[in-house]
């Protein structure tokens, strides 16, 4: 499990998992389609090897049309998302209209870059605005920003780079994009110990967001050895 | 990370009415990555004798091979089957021989004595200290979760069918709260005249 937070006090009387920080081991993904973006995540939070929450929601609202997918330290990403939500809400009132996705990404970047030595956060910013339609901005550890048509993140993403490169095609329709995200996340959850649970999805278009959940028994079946 | 948690895995055994059951998950992983979903940690050492060897996977294989070697020699020399209590003593000796450079496994033994028909379960730490309770034994990276499940679900004198349900639910629900156990399960129900092997369908995450 990847974490670079150092615990200075370890209570020897407590079990190992009580001394570990909460980490969203995670598989997250975002994919553009014509009309918007599809975002997806697994639902597992671990403290060490113990699964602290098996129904986590890692798709977090920052505005009605902009969501972020969180990976890395649960505490860090929750704190960052709260601050970005505050700033965007204020900005929306000053601007008089919905903020741009690239603005949200820029605010995430300000925090993730300037506090890079204290944070462990890998974030996908995805949403819809009326200027550029559906967009995805990846803000990995360190705080760079990169716009991409499809983006994966979290510890589980390493197992599916090949699958994504082989399967993604631009200008998919909504159903194809949802199936692509579901299949990719299922494959990642199959291999990564830090990812699992259910697949949470979000489809963001001009109309706003539609959330859904795919439970364990309804996930697509792949070769299991 | 603890060396006993490098590969992950879980084993549990329970006593029932004139029967015992032992169950294992099937994951083989390297830290967070799952490499195989067909690596059971329970091995049949005699007609009604099973041993579970969760822990470091290389030691699971090595101890299984060395144990089988010692058991074969015993059965050839003595011309009789080895009972579970004797097997437990032998395994304890094997592990303590390596007291200052141990095998990283914490074994679980389950069996029915071939001559007295008594059910027997036992677990040990990695240097061979045996524990022989009357109810259930657990081992692996989700041992704490397993203790909770077993304590809640187990009751004395379960029939073989009831024991199967109980041990399966204990293993599956404990492994579902452990990031490095699971990915399939096998349950063995051991009675004096038959062994039932069931592959339990589990979450594969």
pLDDT of A3 reads 39
Instruction: Compute φ and ψ for A131, nearest 5 degrees.
Output: -80, -45
Which residue from A15, A46, A189 is facing B205, i.e. has the nearest CB?
A: A189
Interface check for B199 against chain A (CB to CB < 8 A): the answer is no
- Cα B200 to chain centroid, rounded: 16
Residue spans of the domains in chain A: they are: 22-194
Average pLDDT, chain B: 97
Contact call for A25 and B32, based on CB within 8 A: yes
Average pLDDT (A164-173) is 96
- Give the ipTM of the model, two decimals please: 0.85
Quote the CA–CA distance of B41 and B108 in Å, as a whole number.
10
Instruction: Give the contacts of A52 (CB within 8 A, at least 6 positions apart).
Output: A17, A22, A45, A46
- CB-CB: which of A44, A49, A191 is closest to B141? A49
Q: Among A22-31, B69-78, B122-131, where is mean pLDDT lowest? A: A22-31
Query: Looking at the partner chain, which of A25, A194, A224 has a beta carbon nearest the beta carbon of B204?
Result: A224
pLDDT of residue A48: 86
A45 CA to chain B: closest CA distance, Å?
9
**Side-chain-side CA neighbours of residue B159 (13 Å):** 2
Task: Give the pLDDT score at A16.
Answer: 59
CA distance B183 to chain A (A): 8
Q: Is the pLDDT of residue A7 over 70?
A: no
Contact B33 A159 (CB under 8 A): yes
Classify residue B2 by burial, with Cβ atoms within 10 Å: 0-12, 13-18, 19+. Answer: exposed
Pairwise CA distance, residues A38 & A55, whole Å: 20
| Chain-chain contact of B180 with A193 (C-beta, under 8 angstroms) | yes
For the segment A176-190, what is each residue's pLDDT rounded down to a tens digit?
Answer: 999 999 999 999 999
- Angle subtended at Cα A26 by Cα A20 and Cα A31, rounded to the nearest 5 degrees: 155
pLDDT in tens, B144-184: 999 999 999 999 999 999 999 999 999 999 999 999 999 99
Other beta carbons within 10 angstroms of residue B131's beta carbon come to: 12
The predicted-structure confidence for A200-214, as pLDDT tens digits, reads as follows 999 999 999 999 999
For residue B147, which residues of chain A lie inside 8 Å, CB to CB? Answer: none
Q: What is the mean pLDDT of residues A4-11?
A: 50
Residue B182's pLDDT is 96
> How far apart, in whole angstroms, are the C-alpha atoms of residue A127 and residue B15?
56
Nearest CA among B154, B46, B58, B157 for reference residue B110: B46
pLDDT digits (tens, 9 = 90+) for A77-98: 999 999 999 999 999 999 999 9
The pLDDT score that the predictor gives to residue A6 is 45
- Closest chain B residue to A222, measured at CA: B204
Residue among A194, A196, A225 whose CB faces B38 most closely: A225
> Is B155's Cβ below 8 Å from some Cβ in A?
no
- Is the pLDDT assigned to residue A24 strictly greater than 70? no
The 3-state DSSP class for residue B117 equals coil
Distance CA B157, CA B41 (A): 26
Answer for the pair A134, A150: CB distance below 8 angstroms, yes or no: no
Q: Tell me what the pLDDT averaged over chain A comes to.
A: 91
Structure-model confidence comparison of residues B190 and A48, the more confident one:
B190
- Structural contact between residues A126 and A31, judged by C-beta atoms closer than 8 angstroms: no
User: 3-state DSSP call for residue A138?
Assistant: strand
Which range among A18-22, A106-110, B66-70, B81-85 shows the weakest confidence by mean pLDDT? A18-22
Cβ-contact A77, A71 below 8 angstroms: yes
- Give the count of alpha carbons within 13 A of B116, CB side only: 9
Q: By CB neighbour count within 10 A (0-12 exposed, 13-18 middle, 19+ buried), where does A214 fall?
A: middle
Is residue A219 scored above 70 in pLDDT?
yes
| B173–chain A Cβ distance below 8 A for any pair | no
pLDDT band at B113; cut points 50, 70, 90: very high
At residue A25, the pLDDT reads 82
- Interface contact A193-B31, CB threshold 8 A: yes
Asked if A196 lies within 8 A of B184 by C-beta distance, the reply is: no
Please report residues of B whose CB lies closer than 8 A to that of A46: 179
- CATH 3.40.30.10 applies to domain B3-200: no
What is A22-194's CATH topology?
A: 3.60.20
Closest residue of chain A to B35, computed from CA coordinates: A191
């Amino acid at each position: 499990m990847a974490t670079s937070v150092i615990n200075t006090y370890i209570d020897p009387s407590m079990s190992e998992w009580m001394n570990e920080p909460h980490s969203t081991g995670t598989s997250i993904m975002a994919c553009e389609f014509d009309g918007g973006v599809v975002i997806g995540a697994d639902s597992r939070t671990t403290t060490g090897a113990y699964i602290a929450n098996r129904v986590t929601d890692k798709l977090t609202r920052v505005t009605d049309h902009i969501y972020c997918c969180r990976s890395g330290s649960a505490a860090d990403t929750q704190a960052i998302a709260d601050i970005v939500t505050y700033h965007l809400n204020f900005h929306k009132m000053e601007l008089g209209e919905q903020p741009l996705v690239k603005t949200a990404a820029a605010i995430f970047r300000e925090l993730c870059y300037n506090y890079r030595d204290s944070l462990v956060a890998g974030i996908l910013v995805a949403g819809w605005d009326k200027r550029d339609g559906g967009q995805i901005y990846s803000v990995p550890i360190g705080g760079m920003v990169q716009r991409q048509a499809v983006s994966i993140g979290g510890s589980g993403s390493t197992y599916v780079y090949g699958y994504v490169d082989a399967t993604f095609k631009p200008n998919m329709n909504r159903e194809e994009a949802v199936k692509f995200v579901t299949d990719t996340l299922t494959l990642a959850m199959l291999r990564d110990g830090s990812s699992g649970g259910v697949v949470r999805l979000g489809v963001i278009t001009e109309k706003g967001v539609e959330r859904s959940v795919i439970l364990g028994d309804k996930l697509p079946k792949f070769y299991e050895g | 990370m603890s060396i006993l948690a490098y590969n992950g895995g879980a084993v549990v055994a329970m006593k029932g009415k004139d029967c015992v059951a032992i169950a294992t998950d099937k994951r083989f992983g390297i830290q967070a990555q799952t490499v195989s979903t067909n690596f059971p940690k329970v091995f049949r050492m005699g007609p009604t004798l099973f041993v579970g060897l969760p822990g470091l996977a290389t030691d699971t294989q090595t101890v299984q091979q060395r144990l089988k070697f010692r058991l074969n020699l015993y059965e050839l020399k003595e011309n009789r089957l080895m009972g579970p209590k004797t097997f437990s003593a032998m395994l304890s000796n094997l592990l303590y021989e390596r007291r200052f450079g141990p095998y990283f496994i914490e074994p679980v033994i389950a069996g029915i004595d071939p001559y007295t028909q008594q059910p027997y379960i036992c677990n040990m730490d990695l240097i061979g200290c045996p524990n022989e309770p009357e109810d259930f034994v657990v081992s692996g990276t989700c041992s704490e979760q397993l203790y909770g499940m077993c304590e809640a679900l187990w009751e004395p004198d379960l029939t073989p069918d009831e024991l199967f349900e109980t041990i399966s639910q204990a293993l599956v629900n404990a492994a579902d709260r452990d990031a490095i156990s699971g990915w399939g399960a096998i349950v063995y129900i051991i009675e004096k005249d038959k062994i039932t092997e069931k592959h339990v369908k589990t979450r594969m995450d």
